[in-house]
Structure 1
Amino acid sequence: MFVAVALPEAVREDLAAFLEPREGMPWVDPAQWHLTLAFMASVPPSRADELVERLAHAAGRAAPFALSLGGAGAFPHAGRASVLWLGVDDAAQDPLARLARGCRAAASVSGASPDGRAFVPHLTLARLRRPVEATRWLRVLDAWQADPFVVDEVELVASFLGEGAKGRPRHEVVATLPLGADPLPPGEALREG
Protein backbone atom coordinates (compact mmCIF):
# COMPACT_ATOMS: atom_id res chain seq x y z
CA MET A 1 0.00 0.00 0.00
CA PHE A 2 1.02 3.59 -0.39
CA VAL A 3 -0.24 7.09 0.38
CA ALA A 4 -0.08 9.48 -2.55
CA VAL A 5 -1.14 12.75 -4.10
CA ALA A 6 -3.04 12.03 -7.31
CA LEU A 7 -2.68 14.32 -10.31
CA PRO A 8 -5.65 16.31 -11.57
CA GLU A 9 -6.92 14.97 -14.89
CA ALA A 10 -5.95 18.16 -16.77
CA VAL A 11 -2.32 17.89 -15.61
CA ARG A 12 -2.25 14.16 -16.39
CA GLU A 13 -3.63 14.74 -19.91
CA ASP A 14 -1.24 17.61 -20.65
CA LEU A 15 1.83 15.67 -19.54
CA ALA A 16 0.69 12.53 -21.40
CA ALA A 17 0.27 14.59 -24.60
CA PHE A 18 3.78 16.01 -24.12
CA LEU A 19 5.34 12.54 -23.69
CA GLU A 20 3.31 10.67 -26.32
CA PRO A 21 5.42 11.63 -29.37
CA ARG A 22 8.68 11.14 -27.45
CA GLU A 23 9.56 7.53 -28.18
CA GLY A 24 12.55 5.67 -26.87
CA MET A 25 11.69 5.57 -23.18
CA PRO A 26 9.52 3.06 -21.34
CA TRP A 27 7.11 5.71 -20.03
CA VAL A 28 5.00 4.79 -17.01
CA ASP A 29 1.28 4.49 -17.82
CA PRO A 30 -0.29 7.91 -17.03
CA ALA A 31 -3.02 6.12 -15.04
CA GLN A 32 -0.25 5.09 -12.60
CA TRP A 33 1.16 8.60 -12.05
CA HIS A 34 1.15 9.89 -8.47
CA LEU A 35 3.42 11.54 -5.90
CA THR A 36 4.19 8.93 -3.23
CA LEU A 37 4.20 10.24 0.33
CA ALA A 38 4.57 6.93 2.17
CA PHE A 39 5.13 3.39 0.92
CA MET A 40 4.24 0.50 3.21
CA ALA A 41 5.53 -2.94 2.26
CA SER A 42 3.11 -4.57 4.67
CA VAL A 43 -0.03 -3.54 6.52
CA PRO A 44 -1.48 -5.87 9.16
CA PRO A 45 -5.04 -6.64 7.95
CA SER A 46 -6.34 -6.39 11.52
CA ARG A 47 -5.12 -2.78 11.72
CA ALA A 48 -6.23 -1.51 8.30
CA ASP A 49 -9.13 0.51 9.76
CA GLU A 50 -6.79 2.09 12.30
CA LEU A 51 -4.38 2.97 9.48
CA VAL A 52 -7.13 4.77 7.56
CA GLU A 53 -8.22 6.61 10.70
CA ARG A 54 -4.70 7.74 11.58
CA LEU A 55 -3.97 8.79 8.00
CA ALA A 56 -7.24 10.76 7.94
CA HIS A 57 -6.10 12.58 11.08
CA ALA A 58 -2.63 13.30 9.61
CA ALA A 59 -4.14 14.57 6.35
CA GLY A 60 -6.77 16.59 8.20
CA ARG A 61 -4.11 18.46 10.13
CA ALA A 62 -2.41 19.62 6.91
CA ALA A 63 -3.69 22.68 5.06
CA PRO A 64 -4.30 22.44 1.31
CA PHE A 65 -1.44 23.93 -0.75
CA ALA A 66 -0.50 24.73 -4.35
CA LEU A 67 1.93 22.53 -6.25
CA SER A 68 3.54 22.71 -9.70
CA LEU A 69 5.43 19.86 -11.31
CA GLY A 70 8.71 20.67 -13.01
CA GLY A 71 12.42 20.18 -12.95
CA ALA A 72 13.48 16.80 -14.31
CA GLY A 73 15.77 14.44 -12.46
CA ALA A 74 17.07 10.89 -12.49
CA PHE A 75 17.81 8.19 -9.94
CA PRO A 76 20.52 7.51 -9.05
CA HIS A 77 21.91 10.26 -11.34
CA ALA A 78 21.71 11.47 -14.95
CA GLY A 79 24.89 9.68 -16.01
CA ARG A 80 23.51 6.29 -15.03
CA ALA A 81 19.74 6.77 -14.84
CA SER A 82 17.37 3.93 -14.02
CA VAL A 83 14.41 6.23 -13.22
CA LEU A 84 13.42 9.53 -14.86
CA TRP A 85 11.19 11.87 -12.89
CA LEU A 86 9.72 15.34 -12.49
CA GLY A 87 10.12 17.23 -9.24
CA VAL A 88 7.92 19.78 -7.53
CA ASP A 89 8.29 23.55 -7.17
CA ASP A 90 10.16 25.00 -4.20
CA ALA A 91 7.04 26.42 -2.53
CA ALA A 92 5.46 22.94 -2.32
CA GLN A 93 8.56 21.21 -0.90
CA ASP A 94 7.92 21.99 2.78
CA PRO A 95 4.17 21.31 2.93
CA LEU A 96 4.66 18.10 0.95
CA ALA A 97 7.50 16.96 3.24
CA ARG A 98 5.40 17.71 6.35
CA LEU A 99 2.48 15.78 4.88
CA ALA A 100 4.78 12.84 4.08
CA ARG A 101 6.19 12.84 7.64
CA GLY A 102 2.67 12.86 9.08
CA CYS A 103 1.57 9.99 6.84
CA ARG A 104 4.68 7.95 7.62
CA ALA A 105 4.23 8.49 11.36
CA ALA A 106 0.56 7.47 11.13
CA ALA A 107 1.52 4.34 9.22
CA SER A 108 4.21 3.41 11.73
CA VAL A 109 1.92 3.84 14.74
CA SER A 110 -0.68 1.70 12.95
CA GLY A 111 1.73 -1.20 12.66
CA ALA A 112 2.46 -0.71 8.98
CA SER A 113 6.07 -0.61 7.84
CA PRO A 114 6.72 2.68 6.03
CA ASP A 115 9.76 2.82 3.79
CA GLY A 116 12.58 4.48 5.70
CA ARG A 117 14.26 6.13 2.71
CA ALA A 118 14.61 9.91 2.67
CA PHE A 119 11.59 11.63 1.12
CA VAL A 120 12.34 13.01 -2.35
CA PRO A 121 9.14 14.42 -3.87
CA HIS A 122 8.90 13.26 -7.47
CA LEU A 123 6.63 11.91 -10.18
CA THR A 124 8.15 8.81 -11.78
CA LEU A 125 7.89 9.04 -15.58
CA ALA A 126 10.09 6.15 -16.77
CA ARG A 127 11.69 3.03 -15.30
CA LEU A 128 14.62 1.58 -17.23
CA ARG A 129 15.74 -2.05 -17.22
CA ARG A 130 19.34 -0.97 -17.75
CA PRO A 131 20.81 2.38 -16.68
CA VAL A 132 21.38 4.97 -19.42
CA GLU A 133 23.00 8.36 -19.81
CA ALA A 134 19.92 10.60 -19.58
CA THR A 135 21.11 14.22 -19.79
CA ARG A 136 19.37 14.76 -23.14
CA TRP A 137 16.11 13.32 -21.81
CA LEU A 138 16.25 15.56 -18.74
CA ARG A 139 16.58 18.61 -21.00
CA VAL A 140 13.53 17.45 -22.96
CA LEU A 141 11.51 16.93 -19.77
CA ASP A 142 12.58 20.33 -18.41
CA ALA A 143 10.79 21.93 -21.38
CA TRP A 144 7.38 20.82 -20.07
CA GLN A 145 5.54 23.53 -18.13
CA ALA A 146 2.64 22.77 -15.80
CA ASP A 147 -0.02 24.96 -14.30
CA PRO A 148 -0.14 24.78 -10.51
CA PHE A 149 -2.87 22.75 -8.87
CA VAL A 150 -4.18 22.59 -5.32
CA VAL A 151 -3.36 19.53 -3.24
CA ASP A 152 -6.47 19.15 -1.09
CA GLU A 153 -6.56 15.38 -0.54
CA VAL A 154 -4.39 12.28 -0.45
CA GLU A 155 -5.23 8.71 -1.34
CA LEU A 156 -4.45 5.43 0.38
CA VAL A 157 -3.84 3.00 -2.47
CA ALA A 158 -3.49 -0.78 -2.55
CA SER A 159 -1.06 -2.06 -5.17
CA PHE A 160 -1.43 -5.52 -6.70
CA LEU A 161 1.82 -6.43 -8.45
CA GLY A 162 1.53 -7.94 -11.91
CA GLU A 163 -2.28 -7.67 -12.03
CA GLY A 164 -2.47 -4.61 -14.29
CA ALA A 165 -2.09 -4.18 -18.03
CA LYS A 166 1.17 -5.53 -19.50
CA GLY A 167 2.13 -7.04 -16.14
CA ARG A 168 2.15 -3.66 -14.41
CA PRO A 169 0.76 -3.19 -10.92
CA ARG A 170 -2.96 -2.63 -10.55
CA HIS A 171 -3.81 0.22 -8.18
CA GLU A 172 -7.01 0.44 -6.17
CA VAL A 173 -7.91 3.50 -4.08
CA VAL A 174 -8.83 2.32 -0.58
CA ALA A 175 -9.57 5.74 0.93
CA THR A 176 -9.54 9.39 -0.12
CA LEU A 177 -8.53 11.64 2.77
CA PRO A 178 -9.16 15.41 2.65
CA LEU A 179 -6.57 17.91 3.83
CA GLY A 180 -7.62 20.56 6.34
CA ALA A 181 -10.59 18.59 7.68
CA ASP A 182 -9.10 17.41 10.95
CA PRO A 183 -11.33 14.59 12.21
CA LEU A 184 -11.44 13.39 15.79
CA PRO A 185 -8.08 12.31 17.16
CA PRO A 186 -7.24 8.70 16.28
CA GLY A 187 -9.18 6.26 18.44
CA GLU A 188 -12.00 8.69 19.34
CA ALA A 189 -14.34 7.48 16.59
CA LEU A 190 -13.72 3.87 17.60
CA ARG A 191 -14.42 4.57 21.29
CA GLU A 192 -17.66 6.42 20.55
CA GLY A 193 -19.03 3.64 18.27
Structure 2
Amino acid sequence: MNRMFVAVIPPESRIEDLDEFLSVRRDAAAFRWSAPDQLHLTLAFAAHVPDRSLDDAIERLETAAGRRTPFTLTITGGGAFPNVAEGKVLYAGVETDAFEELDRAAAGARNALVKAGSEVDGGRFRPHLTVARAGVPVELSNWVRLLDAYRGPSWTVSSFVLVRSRLGEGPRKRPAYQAVAEFPFG
Protein backbone atom coordinates (compact mmCIF):
# COMPACT_ATOMS: atom_id res chain seq x y z
CA MET A 1 0.00 0.00 0.00
CA ASN A 2 1.11 3.51 -0.78
CA ARG A 3 0.06 6.75 0.89
CA MET A 4 0.02 9.27 -1.98
CA PHE A 5 -1.11 12.66 -3.11
CA VAL A 6 -1.21 14.62 -6.36
CA ALA A 7 0.02 18.18 -5.98
CA VAL A 8 1.14 21.37 -7.62
CA ILE A 9 4.69 21.96 -6.40
CA PRO A 10 5.66 25.64 -6.46
CA PRO A 11 9.07 26.51 -7.92
CA GLU A 12 11.86 26.71 -5.36
CA SER A 13 12.09 30.50 -5.71
CA ARG A 14 8.40 30.88 -4.76
CA ILE A 15 8.85 28.62 -1.73
CA GLU A 16 11.94 30.60 -0.68
CA ASP A 17 9.97 33.84 -0.91
CA LEU A 18 7.20 32.52 1.37
CA ASP A 19 9.74 30.91 3.70
CA GLU A 20 11.61 34.21 4.05
CA PHE A 21 8.35 36.00 4.90
CA LEU A 22 7.52 33.42 7.59
CA SER A 23 11.04 32.86 8.96
CA VAL A 24 11.22 36.02 11.08
CA ARG A 25 7.80 35.22 12.58
CA ARG A 26 8.13 31.52 13.42
CA ASP A 27 9.51 32.03 16.93
CA ALA A 28 6.32 33.85 17.92
CA ALA A 29 4.28 30.62 18.04
CA ALA A 30 4.91 27.04 19.05
CA PHE A 31 3.43 25.57 15.89
CA ARG A 32 4.76 22.64 13.90
CA TRP A 33 5.91 24.64 10.89
CA SER A 34 5.95 22.94 7.50
CA ALA A 35 9.44 22.43 6.13
CA PRO A 36 9.97 24.44 2.93
CA ASP A 37 10.56 21.27 0.89
CA GLN A 38 7.13 20.00 1.96
CA LEU A 39 5.07 23.00 0.83
CA HIS A 40 2.65 22.02 -1.93
CA LEU A 41 -0.91 22.51 -3.10
CA THR A 42 -2.71 19.16 -2.78
CA LEU A 43 -5.11 18.35 -5.61
CA ALA A 44 -6.00 14.83 -4.45
CA PHE A 45 -5.03 12.60 -1.51
CA ALA A 46 -5.34 8.83 -1.16
CA ALA A 47 -4.23 7.14 2.05
CA HIS A 48 -4.14 3.70 0.42
CA VAL A 49 -3.05 3.23 -3.19
CA PRO A 50 -2.58 -0.50 -3.75
CA ASP A 51 0.73 -1.45 -5.41
CA ARG A 52 -1.20 -3.25 -8.16
CA SER A 53 -3.05 0.02 -8.98
CA LEU A 54 -0.01 2.29 -9.21
CA ASP A 55 0.72 1.82 -12.94
CA ASP A 56 -2.95 2.36 -13.78
CA ALA A 57 -3.04 5.49 -11.60
CA ILE A 58 0.04 6.86 -13.38
CA GLU A 59 -1.52 6.26 -16.82
CA ARG A 60 -4.78 7.90 -15.76
CA LEU A 61 -2.98 10.88 -14.21
CA GLU A 62 -1.03 11.35 -17.43
CA THR A 63 -4.30 11.47 -19.37
CA ALA A 64 -5.89 13.85 -16.85
CA ALA A 65 -2.91 16.25 -16.97
CA GLY A 66 -2.90 16.12 -20.77
CA ARG A 67 -6.40 17.62 -20.74
CA ARG A 68 -5.32 20.66 -18.71
CA THR A 69 -3.81 23.91 -19.89
CA PRO A 70 -1.14 25.88 -18.00
CA PHE A 71 -2.30 28.75 -15.80
CA THR A 72 -0.77 31.41 -13.56
CA LEU A 73 -0.85 31.01 -9.78
CA THR A 74 0.17 33.28 -6.91
CA ILE A 75 0.59 32.38 -3.23
CA THR A 76 -1.22 35.09 -1.31
CA GLY A 77 -3.35 35.57 1.77
CA GLY A 78 -4.15 32.90 4.30
CA GLY A 79 -6.68 31.08 6.37
CA ALA A 80 -7.20 28.39 8.98
CA PHE A 81 -8.93 25.02 9.23
CA PRO A 82 -11.46 24.36 10.55
CA ASN A 83 -11.82 28.10 11.32
CA VAL A 84 -9.75 31.02 12.65
CA ALA A 85 -11.31 30.94 16.13
CA GLU A 86 -10.32 27.30 16.74
CA GLY A 87 -7.69 26.63 14.12
CA LYS A 88 -5.47 23.59 13.95
CA VAL A 89 -4.07 24.30 10.48
CA LEU A 90 -2.66 27.63 9.28
CA TYR A 91 -2.40 27.94 5.53
CA ALA A 92 -1.31 30.26 2.75
CA GLY A 93 -3.93 30.82 0.09
CA VAL A 94 -3.61 31.01 -3.67
CA GLU A 95 -4.94 33.32 -6.34
CA THR A 96 -5.44 32.68 -10.02
CA ASP A 97 -7.61 34.03 -12.78
CA ALA A 98 -8.09 30.40 -13.84
CA PHE A 99 -9.78 28.84 -10.77
CA GLU A 100 -11.90 26.75 -13.14
CA GLU A 101 -8.74 25.22 -14.62
CA LEU A 102 -7.31 24.60 -11.14
CA ASP A 103 -10.58 22.94 -10.08
CA ARG A 104 -10.51 20.78 -13.22
CA ALA A 105 -6.93 19.72 -12.47
CA ALA A 106 -8.00 18.68 -8.96
CA ALA A 107 -11.10 16.85 -10.24
CA GLY A 108 -9.05 15.08 -12.91
CA ALA A 109 -6.46 13.96 -10.35
CA ARG A 110 -9.15 12.71 -7.96
CA ASN A 111 -10.99 10.85 -10.73
CA ALA A 112 -7.78 9.26 -11.99
CA LEU A 113 -6.98 7.85 -8.54
CA VAL A 114 -10.56 6.64 -7.99
CA LYS A 115 -10.75 4.94 -11.40
CA ALA A 116 -7.44 3.23 -10.64
CA GLY A 117 -8.98 1.70 -7.53
CA SER A 118 -8.01 4.10 -4.74
CA GLU A 119 -10.27 5.78 -2.24
CA VAL A 120 -9.67 9.52 -2.32
CA ASP A 121 -9.92 11.36 1.00
CA GLY A 122 -11.17 14.85 1.70
CA GLY A 123 -14.19 16.88 0.88
CA ARG A 124 -14.62 19.88 -1.35
CA PHE A 125 -11.38 21.11 -2.97
CA ARG A 126 -10.04 24.18 -1.15
CA PRO A 127 -6.70 25.22 -2.67
CA HIS A 128 -4.08 26.07 -0.04
CA LEU A 129 -0.54 25.37 1.18
CA THR A 130 -0.35 24.23 4.80
CA VAL A 131 2.33 26.33 6.53
CA ALA A 132 1.82 25.26 10.16
CA ARG A 133 -0.16 22.99 12.47
CA ALA A 134 -1.19 23.55 16.07
CA GLY A 135 -1.41 20.61 18.47
CA VAL A 136 -4.69 21.89 19.90
CA PRO A 137 -7.26 24.34 18.49
CA VAL A 138 -6.04 27.94 18.89
CA GLU A 139 -7.14 31.43 17.90
CA LEU A 140 -5.38 32.14 14.58
CA SER A 141 -6.92 35.43 13.41
CA ASN A 142 -3.66 37.39 13.96
CA TRP A 143 -1.75 34.83 11.90
CA VAL A 144 -4.34 34.90 9.14
CA ARG A 145 -4.16 38.72 9.05
CA LEU A 146 -0.38 38.44 8.82
CA LEU A 147 -0.65 36.06 5.85
CA ASP A 148 -3.22 38.37 4.27
CA ALA A 149 -0.35 40.87 3.95
CA TYR A 150 1.72 38.37 1.93
CA ARG A 151 1.72 38.25 -1.86
CA GLY A 152 4.39 36.18 -3.55
CA PRO A 153 5.55 36.29 -7.14
CA SER A 154 3.34 34.52 -9.68
CA TRP A 155 4.39 31.55 -11.79
CA THR A 156 2.93 29.38 -14.52
CA VAL A 157 1.63 26.00 -13.38
CA SER A 158 2.24 23.57 -16.21
CA SER A 159 2.17 20.19 -14.44
CA PHE A 160 1.22 18.27 -11.33
CA VAL A 161 3.18 15.61 -9.44
CA LEU A 162 2.29 12.25 -7.89
CA VAL A 163 4.02 12.08 -4.49
CA ARG A 164 4.51 9.13 -2.11
CA SER A 165 4.26 10.10 1.56
CA ARG A 166 5.86 7.96 4.25
CA LEU A 167 4.70 9.03 7.69
CA GLY A 168 7.37 9.55 10.33
CA GLU A 169 10.28 8.77 8.01
CA GLY A 170 11.45 12.35 7.48
CA PRO A 171 13.53 14.60 9.75
CA ARG A 172 12.00 15.09 13.22
CA LYS A 173 9.45 12.34 12.51
CA ARG A 174 7.84 14.37 9.70
CA PRO A 175 6.57 12.61 6.58
CA ALA A 176 9.15 11.86 3.91
CA TYR A 177 7.98 12.83 0.42
CA GLN A 178 9.15 11.20 -2.79
CA ALA A 179 8.06 12.40 -6.22
CA VAL A 180 6.94 9.35 -8.20
CA ALA A 181 6.07 11.03 -11.50
CA GLU A 182 5.44 14.49 -12.95
CA PHE A 183 2.64 15.02 -15.46
CA PRO A 184 2.85 17.96 -17.86
CA PHE A 185 -0.31 19.78 -18.89
CA GLY A 186 -1.48 19.85 -22.50
Q: TM-score, normalised by structure 2?
A: 0.94
Q: Does 1:2 align with 2:5?
A: yes
- Which among 72, 77, 82 is matched to residue 71 of structure 1? 77
The Cα RMSD (Å) is 1.0
Can you give the 5+ residue segments of structure 1 that lack an aligned partner in the other structure?
A: 181-193
Q: TM-score, normalised by structure 1?
A: 0.90
Amino acid at match of 2:166: F
Where does residue 123 of structure 2 map in the other structure?
117
Distance 1:94 1:125 in 2: 24
Q: How far did residue 92 of structure 1 move? A: 3.6
Deviation per residue, 1:134-187 (Å, 9 max, x gap): 11111111111111111001100000000000000000000011011xxxxxxx
Aligned ranges 1:148-163 → 2 under 5 Å: 148-163=154-169
Distance 1:133 1:116 in 2: 24
Distance 2:158 2:96 in 1: 18
Amino acid at match of 2:7: A
Aligned ranges 1:15-164 → 2 under 5 Å: 15-22=18-25, 23=27, 24=29, 25-164=31-170
Q: Percent identity?
A: 47
Q: How far did residue 96 of structure 1 move? A: 1.0
Q: Secondary structure at the match of 2:161?
A: strand
Count of matched residue pairs: 180
Q: Could you tell me whether the CA contact under 8 Å between 1:93 and 1:121 is conserved in 2?
A: no
Q: Secondary structure at the match of 1:49?
A: helix
The structure having more radius of gyration, on CA atoms, is 1
Can you give the 5+ residue segments of structure 2 that lack an aligned partner in the other structure?
A: none
Q: Which runs of 4+ in 1 moved over 6 A?
A: none
Distance 1:166 1:92 in 2: 37
Amino acid at match of 1:69: I
Q: How far did residue 116 of structure 1 move? A: 4.3
Distance 1:126 1:103 in 2: 25
Distance 1:102 1:110 in 2: 12
